[in-house]
Structure 1
Amino acid sequence: MSSEIQAANTYPHEKNDVQHVGDVKTEANFRQDAMEAESAEFNMTVMEAVKAYPMACFWSFIMSSTIIMEAYCVFLMGSFVALPKFRLDYGIPDGSGGFVIETSWQSALQCGGPVGALIGVFIAGPIAAAIGYRWACIGGLMFLNATIFIMFFANSLGVFFASQLLEGISWGIFIAISPAYCSEIVPMRLRAPATQVLQLFWALGAIIVGGVCYAYQPLLTTAAYRIPTALQWMFPTPLAVLMFLAPESPWWLVRKGRMEQAARSVVRLGRKSLVQPQEAVAMMRRVIDQESHENPSLLELFKGTDLRRTLIVCGIYAAQNLAGNLIANQAVFFFEQAGMDTNTAFALGLITSALQAVFVMGSWGLTTYFGRRTIYLWGTGFNVVMLFALGIAASVGQSTAASNAQAAFGLIVSVWFTFTAAPVSWAVIGETSSIRLRPLTTGVGRASYYIINIPCIFLSSWMLNPTGAALFGKCGYVWGGTALFTLVVAYFCLPEYKGRSYRELDILFRRKVAARKFSKTQINLEEDE
């Protein structure tokens, strides 16, 4: 059967587009084009990939920057509970002459966003699958613009909670579609750094909010928290304009049978002299032709080999809450409870965020050359040790040395997480699912993050708050235990994706290859099953 006939049967409404993309006359030639494109990606170095696809790097960078807004608001609420004016306006006496946000409200404020995001991630997958990543992102940005008004004019903790809930819907859309879009528009060698940029922007969002809150925290007027709230408007509109100009993922276009547009998208993403759009589209068709052409549904995520892929994505997302990451999200409050004064706590929070940004950039090369599984296991193992060390430091009595040790271990845990496990997680999330189910898988995976995140926020606030358990640094024992659990599960379940094309990953999952054998299993360029 000729490739033209096959394409017409698969995508009947786009027959002319398929013919126009390339003069592919035989199935053998179609396969040859696909194999040449895949072979070219295998033979590329990282720098060659950057030179061949500079605009793919740029648009991946733009899409990833939407994560700034989630990070900004997550850390904003974490900083507000430590902000003197916010505590004075909405807190209760702490018994020592100051004020503190009640434990239940402290947890609720930090859970509002994740609850909203849980809604967002479930609607993001079907929306992106139907209208594409670009328009889904633009819609989320415009909705966020509107909901920021609610937070800016909030005059009670209940309204702050409602604003977080509504803003969280947009966060869910961004976080669900960004890894999928970034992993699809870049060549294989750039998949890890392109998705790991998400962690960089998370750190940048924390830096921005840390700097803003540090500057305004001495004020004893509502400007101390109104201005940091208003600065959220810096991001949505400019990003919406840029996303309107961005190319759609060629993989999404091929899934829709829009071959001509997919070819144009490939040209826009790379240098014309270095990319072959006909071959690239053929490679995408080869992978997608092995999948069902029915409209994807959530139920498919939990059937056959897709169940395993869904569980890996859900597990890697959920594990982000269990390896001490919540210490980073509440860094300022943690440092205060460790014995630092307010100025020092805010300064240390800002230093932590700055170090995270630096270490995230260092992780790009680390993951590219050493792989995902290796870095995740060793990185999580080190954090287990540091978390238990934090617990021990908090158990030796109250002293300046003990407080400094707790602050140091808390900082190390927060920074090391963004050097190893966190950025690796984004690469795994972007690579694990099948192409067809990717928007749905990343959405459901992120939902698992929030399902674990919400009770963990309550637990973390309760452990740190003086009106709760008042464990302070002893929370290291709890997070050390949960991190150890994630390490054991990852050892048996997390495969190695380094140097694998999407075709190879599909074959490995269909063959049910054990996670520890992924890196050693050979897949020939000619194989489809």
Structure 2
Amino acid sequence: MLILALISFQATSVLYGYDDKVIGSVAAMEQFVKKYQGKNAEGAYAFSARNQTLIFSVPLVGAIFGAAFSGYLTTKFGRKWPIVGSYAFSYAGTFLQTFAPNFAAFVCGRFMNAFLISIGTTISILYLSEVVPARYRGPAVSASNIFNLISGVIATVICNKTHTFASESSFKIPLGAQAILPTILIPLTAFVPESPLWLLMNGRAEEARASLRKLRSFDDALVDDELHVMKQAHDSEVALTTGVSFFDLFKRKNIKRTLVAGSMYSVNQVSGIILSTTYATIFLTDLGVGSPFQLTIAASCCVLAGTMIAPLIIENFGRRPVAIVGMSVLFVIDLIAGVLAFYADEKNVPLAIAILSFLFNVFWAASFYPLSVVLPTEVPEARLRSITTSYTLACAYTTAVLTTFSVPHLVTVGPGAAGLGAKTYLIFGGCVLVILAVYTCFLPETKGRTFAEIQEMYEAKVPVTKWKSYQTSPESKEAKIVDHLEASDVKA
């Protein structure tokens, strides 16, 4: 039952990954552009910068509203039923996108789908963190991202197969395929148990016990013990966070930690990754290199490959080295790709830029992106961890909207657009250089450190270059031993 619950809730990221990747390819299809815009001033079928902005940025606004609304839904209705509801209502968004009579209706369908998908992805992470045993929690939650990327590859494969169709089915098939997964997941998710922690929080102790009993293979005594610990942990967290304010994040003693923990998720989006992922098909079409739809599959596979090796790299080499080396490589790629764009008419130069974008995907997914997920859970004070997560997501969505709004106007050739094309990599390279300087100065090495050790070193104002070798107090080392025991298979 636990495995079934994991699959059904991790699969919410499949919807996000598919929706995110399918639109990049669909927006480059001639039949799609022909239906919703027509030819541009040069006589080619290509969306204007304004319409690209609407296609890609409006859904992000929907995602912001969905993430905000999910807090109310999950508090009132639990974890699984809001997700079942989001699956059910997603049919409407998929139908509107697939059969939209005009461009405005299509954008409304995009907004609706993003709103519902955001509800599912936000709540599913909460559910997974509550039902999975502590020693498996990290892999279980992070596996959602792998599901996300696999579905993105599937989306690009479908688009590559249909983009040559000389009818509207070229884009209607990949868009309509989004309805398949909810059909499978609605009965599957409705069948799994509700979160025992949510039931406990709402005074339904017997139902919580019955739910946990279905999710655990050990005996009743251990189920009761786990429920008792769960209740104590919840009560302690409530006591710890009482009186905590959002503005505590920006007090003098916390500002560095907020900068490190809460900003990387946001700034990684101005690294240039949007050119190599969301806009990959459009970007490669403009370069005129090979088959852009086939190359987009390669781009998605590169992101997946980087994500698969990321946990191994981060745990073996640490946070700070991976961040500094990874950002340095991204800066170099941005610089070379941007300079080569001035010679895009030369033979093989477009192919070289495409290959650099694939390498960018691998290094970004193996370093920058995974660290942006890890740091908000490690660096903040315990009492500010929940608020830091909210701040991180708010910054990430805001940056995503701004980036998605700006890129079409920078890349696209046409009225009101800069027409920079691949030269836009130089702008992103400048952003990465600033980010690299900031994190070189402020990012400590937290690998293998307990929350107690991290707190002690921040209070002692240990320079970030000394964290790796710093010897903490016996009390903090004792916390490390306790953490190790809690993560082991000891049952007592």
| Alignment TM-score, normalising by the size of structure 2 | 0.82
- Give identity over the alignment, percent: 24
RMSD, aligned CA? 3.7
Secondary structure of the 2:348 match is helix
Q: Which amino acid aligns with 2:267?
A: A
Secondary structure of the 1:420 match is helix
Offset of residue 249 of structure 1 = 4.3
Q: What's the counterpart of residue 469 of structure 1? A: 418
Secondary structure of the 1:385 match is helix
Q: What's the counterpart of residue 3 of structure 1? A: none
Partners of 1:253 and 1:505 lie apart in 2 by: 33
Offset of residue 242 of structure 1 = 2.5
Offset of residue 493 of structure 1 = 4.9
Q: Which amino acid aligns with 1:335?
A: L
Assess if the C-alpha contact under 8 Å between 1:372 and 1:498 holds in 2: yes
Q: What's the counterpart of residue 120 of structure 1? A: 66
Match of 1:457 among 399, 404, 410: 404
Deviates more, 1:361-370 or 1:220-229: 361-370
1:109 and 2:55 correspond? yes
Deviates more, 1:345-354 or 1:144-153: 144-153
1:385–1:465 Cα change, 3 Å: same
1:213 and 2:159 correspond? yes
Offset of residue 329 of structure 1 = 1.3
Assess if the C-alpha contact under 8 Å between 1:337 and 1:472 holds in 2: yes
Match of 1:482 among 431, 453, 463: 431
Assess if the C-alpha contact under 8 Å between 2:258 and 2:388 holds in 1: yes
Offset of residue 458 of structure 1 = 2.3
Secondary structure of the 2:342 match is coil
Assess if the C-alpha contact under 8 Å between 2:411 and 2:418 holds in 1: yes
1:195–1:480 Cα change, 3 Å: farther
Q: What's the counterpart of residue 19 of structure 2? A: 73
| Alignment TM-score, normalising by the size of structure 1 | 0.77
Partners of 2:458 and 2:183 lie apart in 1 by: 43
1:334 and 2:280 correspond? no
Q: What's the CA shift string for 1:116-148, capped at 9, x where partnerless? A: 001111112233244333233223222222222
Q: What's the counterpart of residue 302 of structure 2? A: 355
Deviates more, 1:265-274 or 1:432-441: 432-441
1:158–1:68 Cα change, 3 Å: same
Q: What's the counterpart of residue 426 of structure 1? A: 373
Assess if the C-alpha contact under 8 Å between 2:98 and 2:172 holds in 1: yes
1:523–1:120 Cα change, 3 Å: farther
Q: What's the counterpart of residue 30 of structure 1? A: none
- Structure 1 stretches of 5 or more lacking a match? 1-54
Offset of residue 158 of structure 1 = 1.0
- Structure 2 stretches of 5 or more lacking a match? 484-492
Q: What's the counterpart of residue 384 of structure 1? A: 331
Offset of residue 63 of structure 1 = 1.9
| Pairing 1:140-151 to 2, within 5 Å after superposition | 140-151=86-97
Q: What's the counterpart of residue 10 of structure 2? A: 64
Offset of residue 239 of structure 1 = 2.1
Deviates more, 1:305-314 or 1:170-179: 305-314
Secondary structure of the 2:164 match is coil
Q: Which amino acid aligns with 2:94?
A: I
Match of 1:194 among 134, 140, 145: 140
Assess if the C-alpha contact under 8 Å between 2:98 and 2:176 holds in 1: yes
Partners of 1:454 and 1:259 lie apart in 2 by: 42
Deviates more, 1:512-521 or 1:208-217: 512-521
Assess if the C-alpha contact under 8 Å between 1:125 and 1:439 holds in 2: no
Assess if the C-alpha contact under 8 Å between 2:90 and 2:116 holds in 1: yes
Assess if the C-alpha contact under 8 Å between 1:508 and 1:518 holds in 2: no
Q: What's the counterpart of residue 524 of structure 1? A: 478
Partners of 1:247 and 1:239 lie apart in 2 by: 14
1:319 and 2:319 correspond? no
Offset of residue 114 of structure 1 = 0.3
Deviates more, 1:225-234 or 1:147-156: 147-156
Q: What's the counterpart of residue 38 of structure 1? A: none
Partners of 2:363 and 2:22 lie apart in 1 by: 22
1:113–1:514 Cα change, 3 Å: farther
Q: What's the counterpart of residue 184 of structure 2? A: 238
Assess if the C-alpha contact under 8 Å between 2:265 and 2:369 holds in 1: no
Q: What's the counterpart of residue 110 of structure 2? A: 164
Offset of residue 368 of structure 1 = 4.2
Assess if the C-alpha contact under 8 Å between 2:24 and 2:279 holds in 1: yes
